[in-house]
Amino acid sequence: MVFEELLNELERRRARALEMGGPEKLAKRRAAGIMNARERIAYLLDSGTFVESGLLATSAYPQDADKTPADGKIAGYGRIRGREAAVIANDFTIMGASSSATNMKKIGHMKRAAVSRGMPLVFLGESSGARLPDNMGARGMGSLLAQDPHQYLRQRESPWVSAALGLCYGSSTWYCCLADFNVFRKGAILAVSSSLLASLAMNDTVEAEELGGWRVHAEVTGFADLVADSDEEALDAIKTFLSYLPSHNQETPPIVPVPAGSGEGMRDILELLPESRTQVYDMRRILKAVADRGSYFELKARFGRAGVTALARLGGKSVGLVANNPLFKGGALDADACDKIVSFLVLCDSYNIPIVMFVDTPGFAIGVEAERKRAPGKIMNFMNALALVTVPKLTVLIRKTYGQAYINMGGGRNSDEFLAWPTAEVSFMDPSYAVTVVFGLKPGDPGFEEKRALMEKDSSVYDIASIYAVQDVIRPEATRDYLIRMLEIHALRRTRGIGKHLLSTWPTSY
């Protein structure tokens, strides 16, 4: 009888914890078409694999214990497409999923388990920030904050992915910013603090969307790697992203079967490139033709659009694609594109993903705006990161590359193999600009074309091939097969495919 009473009490407490914020709050979310925290976990994880950690946790303050089931943050382990992962989901129905002494212990525990056991950590963000009045005053600050000196440390031992799925303030913002990948659901808000607090601080009205809506983070800050229309779409994106990555940095990414029809577009790939060197086109069409069918997964598509960063597969193996896109700014790399590419280089090098670069750029964006956005520093960040990469780097020069961008985009010894199409040309700057700089002539002036021909001399792909500054000039239709073979050759055999991870502590946001 005593044991039965004890077991009944256990079941009562478990049932209460599973009720979350109660039927009314859950029904309100359901009516709005927004998943609750437990529904998100169930959708993300393979059916029947979730093992919860801290179900019976509550607020450390006795007066709040009965109204804080699981203390507003649901944590545990499960499998995503057959691989183990740790997951934390904020339960906004419990005090806005605000941060407290108890639930921060949960986050710390899951992070330590993910890192030490080598599995991804998934953080599903939606919270109001620090719990008040718990954190107020010197005692609150001294008791609740800074109890884990590694709370915000990222050394990229295992992947960390996040989703902004509602109002994200305080810790939700911090943990999203620390992630390797963040998907942003339309309607979510991510900022340091709420629009109300920002309005009070600024003595002016600030709208939440303007403060930290999806357009801000997809197009201005570049924080959002991908934008989703629904919770389900966001969670699917997390599954897809993780499919390209290993479970931790001491193993290589999974190899998958090559889909039927992969490479079929190669025979006509040259038709995607305009004959005129000045005509724009979308480089992404070339990338999709080269990659395994259906494997192209672009990151930060709305930010720094002169650069392209995408995960994909070649021959069933994960690769990171970095490219110029002449469709935007003629492919001239601005500060945003540099930030975007550096972030991607860090991701690939940290998780043993080879990098393949496709080049067609007139150089870096210049002018007053570029200098005010710290272009020189961004260009050197890019160069420094590229030099620290220890996974295989292959570069394909498609059309043109000028000046410093030649180096940043893998020219010379900045790639393990530097290849070129017959359509390529290399020089210090556009020959037309060079004529104006050196001779003061403009297009249409007498003698301009003669001087332009002089400046174009020795700029062909065969000139650079003759001094072995490119390792080969290949037919465009052979690109896919050539890259697959080169990746086989440059696999990191002595380290079983594991790089040195020299970029593992590079800042996640800057």
Compute mean pLDDT per 10 residues along the chain, 510 residues long, and list them.
88 94 92 94 98 93 89 96 97 88 90 96 89 67 66 89 92 89 94 65 70 92 95 98 98 97 95 91 97 98 97 98 95 94 97 98 86 89 96 96 89 93 81 56 69 62 90 96 97 93 88
Residues 420, 164: Cα–Cα separation, whole Å: 41
- Alpha-carbon dihedral angle through residues 455, 456, 459, 462, given to the nearest 10 degrees: -140
The reported pLDDT for the residue numbered 238 is 98
Residues 274, 272: Cα–Cα separation, whole Å: 7
The reported pLDDT for the residue numbered 402 is 86
Q: Give just the sign of the alpha carbon dihedral 231, 236, 241, 247.
A: positive
| Long-range contacts, stretch 290-297, CB < 8 angstroms, 24+ apart | 290/266, 290/314, 290/479, 290/480, 290/483, 291/262, 291/319, 291/321, 292/258, 292/259, 292/262, 292/316, 293/259, 293/260, 293/261, 293/262, 293/264, 294/259, 295/259, 296/321, 297/240, 297/241, 297/244
Cα 71–Cα 107–Cα 152 angle in degrees, nearest 5? 135
Residues 132, 367: Cα–Cα separation, whole Å: 48
The reported pLDDT for the residue numbered 453 is 60
Cα 282–Cα 287–Cα 291 angle in degrees, nearest 5? 155
* CA proximity to 398, closest of 357, 431, 430, 341: 357
The reported pLDDT for the residue numbered 262 is 97
Bridge partners, 183 (sequence order): 163, 226
The reported pLDDT for the residue numbered 7 is 94
Which string of DSSP letters, residue by residue, matches 373-437?
TTHHHHHHHHHHHHHH--S-EEEEEEEEEETHHHHHTT-GGGSSEEEE-TT-EEESS-HHHHHHH
- Alpha-carbon dihedral angle through residues 138, 140, 141, 143, given to the nearest 10 degrees: 110
- Domain architecture of the chain: domains with CATH: 2-243 (3.90.226.10), 264-495 (3.90.226.10)
Helix (H) or strand (E) holding 164, with range, is: strand 160-168
For 25, the token pair is 């709050």
Which string of DSSP letters, residue by residue, matches 173-242?
HHHHHTSSEEEEETT-EE-SS-HHHHHHHHTS---HHHHH-HHIIIIIS---SEEESSHHHHHHHHHHHH
* CA proximity to 40, closest of 228, 296, 299: 228
Helix (H) or strand (E) holding 453, with range, is: helix 448-456
Cα 276 to the chain's mean position, in Å? 34
* CA proximity to 238, closest of 124, 340, 153: 124
